[in-house]
């Protein structure tokens, strides 16, 4: 007699830590816009412009030359060396041995977290914040505590004393993103000094997400301390790399996405202590193995030849920021302040206390796509995030739609 066939067992759920991850509220708003014929999207963090031609040409040439194979886990030598020169010029001497090429910033954040934290570790993050930074350590089983910036007359500010008190000796890692998505807040040099000294004292790792370092508008509120000791004053926001030795507990995450408009290419890098590099190579192997070879060649063109492009981009972004601040200031009930970095306005508006519902209604009713503040943590509730990396006519069209929405709801 043959045994009866065992029935197919039901499929278990994903791990608890994964099920507990927050889904993206920006996606939720975008989904509400499906079926709306004409949406103006300001919800994602990218420009409406294509990557500059000299970078696309470098990728095409590399493809033609047959750059289609696996590379070294830490990246091809000429890109690591180009990045070392770039980082050295902006932030002081850095060797290629301290650089690892990654598959963009989000993968760099995952690698940094995998290097440093494990199950049960305590992580502190400064918020409001792009959700990936807060969620990634949770995938690894870490506990994330948040310290919120405060919103006041001068926009978003950090109470550094409150951050230091949260950085208890049992904290494993601090996550700080400056210039910040979504608020545009930029950490001052003095705050960096205080945080670095405290983290040194307690052996806390600093993971600094500096993907927006070049999108910095210092004219607004100059930071003389940063000007005094930054390697390239004015060209970049104050960086932990200006202060820290290369072989201490500081890991800087960066990306090609923002400064060279390369969001779809998935290329980034990490600056980290040399002692971590062999282990980082193993983690790259088990995550992605390497960034695509022809994309890495495009990266060389970006860092070696892209400075003029980046400076012009920043000039245009600043003009867009000022234009949108001005236009939004004319909308009744809006409180908006020009931020010092990144490419977003994070502003309040009467009726935005349930920002997710409001953003869904705006996309459905007038085709205006902006991100709800609550997508960036509870501290962001009541705010709206508008990415201004696009031409001025499009910004004007967006503001007109906002006014139309408010008029339809009797608020204009």
Ligand X SMILES: Cc1ncc(COP(=O)(O)O)c(C=O)c1O
Contact residues for ligand X (CB under 6 A)?
Answer: 45, 104-106, 130, 177, 181, 209, 211, 255, 257, 263, 268
- Whose Cβ is closer to ligand X: residue 92's or residue 131's? 131
- Whose Cβ is closer to ligand X: residue 103's or residue 334's? 103
Chain CA centroid to CA 17, Å? 23
Q: Are strands 250-255 and 205-209 parallel, antiparallel or unpaired?
A: parallel
Q: How far is the CB of 290 from ligand X (least distance, A)?
A: 16
**Do the Cβ atoms of 105 and 141 come closer than 8 Å?**
no
Q: How far is the CB of 289 from ligand X (least distance, A)?
A: 17
Helix 293-305, helix 53-64: angle, nearest 10: 140
**Which residue reads 């030598």 in tokens?**
77
**Do the Cβ atoms of 51 and 261 come closer than 8 Å?**
yes
Q: How far is the CB of 133 from ligand X (least distance, A)?
A: 7
- Whose Cβ is closer to ligand X: residue 130's or residue 405's? 130
Q: How far is the CB of 174 from ligand X (least distance, A)?
A: 15
Closest CA to 221 of 343, 341, 387: 341
- Whose Cβ is closer to ligand X: residue 104's or residue 349's? 104
- Whose Cβ is closer to ligand X: residue 300's or residue 406's? 300
Closest CA to 188 of 232, 151, 224: 224
Instruction: Kindly state the helix (H) or strand (E) to which residue 140 belongs, with its residue range.
Output: none
Cα–Cα distance measured from residue 236 to residue 208, given in angstroms and rounded to the nearest whole number: 14
- Whose Cβ is closer to ligand X: residue 113's or residue 334's? 113
27 CB-near residues (< 8 Å, 6+ apart): none
Closest CA to 101 of 247, 324, 265, 239: 265
Question: For the chain, give me the number of helices (H) and strands (E)?
Answer: 15, 15
Closest CA to 210 of 245, 240, 232, 233: 240
Q: How far is the CB of 342 from ligand X (least distance, A)?
A: 8
Closest CA to 304 of 89, 100, 94: 89
Q: How far is the CB of 180 from ligand X (least distance, A)?
A: 7
Coil vs helix vs strand at 201: helix
Q: How far is the CB of 44 from ligand X (least distance, A)?
A: 8
- Whose Cβ is closer to ligand X: residue 104's or residue 173's? 104
**Do the Cβ atoms of 123 and 166 come closer than 8 Å?**
no
Q: How far is the CB of 370 from ligand X (least distance, A)?
A: 15
**Do the Cβ atoms of 399 and 331 come closer than 8 Å?**
yes
Q: How far is the CB of 212 from ligand X (least distance, A)?
A: 7
- Whose Cβ is closer to ligand X: residue 127's or residue 177's? 177
Q: How far is the CB of 130 from ligand X (least distance, A)?
A: 4
Q: How far is the CB of 105 from ligand X (least distance, A)?
A: 3
- For residue 339, the number of C-alpha atoms closer than 13 Å in the C-beta half-sphere is 31
Q: Are strands 383-387 and 344-349 parallel, antiparallel or unpaired?
A: antiparallel
Residue nearest to ligand X (CB): 105
- Whose Cβ is closer to ligand X: residue 90's or residue 399's? 90
- Whose Cβ is closer to ligand X: residue 71's or residue 177's? 177
- For residue 369, whether the previous peptide bond is cis, meaning omega lies within 30 degrees of 0, is no
Cα–Cα distance measured from residue 303 to residue 241, given in angstroms and rounded to the nearest whole number: 18
- Whose Cβ is closer to ligand X: residue 71's or residue 255's? 255
């Amino acid at each position: 007699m043959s045994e009866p066939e065992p029935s197919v067992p039901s499929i278990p759920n994903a791990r608890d830590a994964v099920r507990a991850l927050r889904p993206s509220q920006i996606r939720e708003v975008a989904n509400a816009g499906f079926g709306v014929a004409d949406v103006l999207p300001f919800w994602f963090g990218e420009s409406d412009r294509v990557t500059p031609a000299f970078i696309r040409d470098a990728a095409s040439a590399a493809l033609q030359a047959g750059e289609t194979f696996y590379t070294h886990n830490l990246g091809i030598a000429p890109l690591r060396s180009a990045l070392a020169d770039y980082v050295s010029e902006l932030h002081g001497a850095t060797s290629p041995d301290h650089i690892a090429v990654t598959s963009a910033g989000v993968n760099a954040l995952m690698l940094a977290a995998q290097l440093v934290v494990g199950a049960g570790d305590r992580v502190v993050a400064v918020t409001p914040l792009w959700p990936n930074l807060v969620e990634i350590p949770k995938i690894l089983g870490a506990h994330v505590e948040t310290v919120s910036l405060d919103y006041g007359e001068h926009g978003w500010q950090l109470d550094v004393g409150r951050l230091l008190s949260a950085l208890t000796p049992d904290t494993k890692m601090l996550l700080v993103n400056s210039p910040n998505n979504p608020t545009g807040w930029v950490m001052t040099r003095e705050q960096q000094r205080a945080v670095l000294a405290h983290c040194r004292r307690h052996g806390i790792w600093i993971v600094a997400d500096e993907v927006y370092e070049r999108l910095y508008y210092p004219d607004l509120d100059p930071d003389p301390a940063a000007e005094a000791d930054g390697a390239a004053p004015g060209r970049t926001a104050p960086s932990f790399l200006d202060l820290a030795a290369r072989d201490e507990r500081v890991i800087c995450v960066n990306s090609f996405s923002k400064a060279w408009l390369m969001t779809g290419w998935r290329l980034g890098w990490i600056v980290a202590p040399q002692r971590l590099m062999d282990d980082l190579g193993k983690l790259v192997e088990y995550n992605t193995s390497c960034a695509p070879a022809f994309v890495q060649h495009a990266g060389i063109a970006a860092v070696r030849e892209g400075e003029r492009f980046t400076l012009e981009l920043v000039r245009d972004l600043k003009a867009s920021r000022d234009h949108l601040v001005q236009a939004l200031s004319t909308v009744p009930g809006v409180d908006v302040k020009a931020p010092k970095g990144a490419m977003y306005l994070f502003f309040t508006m009467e009726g935005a206390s349930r920002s997710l519902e409001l953003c869904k209604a705006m996309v459905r009713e007038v085709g205006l796509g902006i991100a709800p503040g609550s997508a960036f943590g509870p501290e962001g509730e009541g705010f709206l995030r508008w990415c201004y990396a696009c031409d001025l006519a499009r910004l004007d069209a967006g503001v007109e739609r906002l006014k139309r929405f408010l008029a339809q709801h009797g608020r204009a």
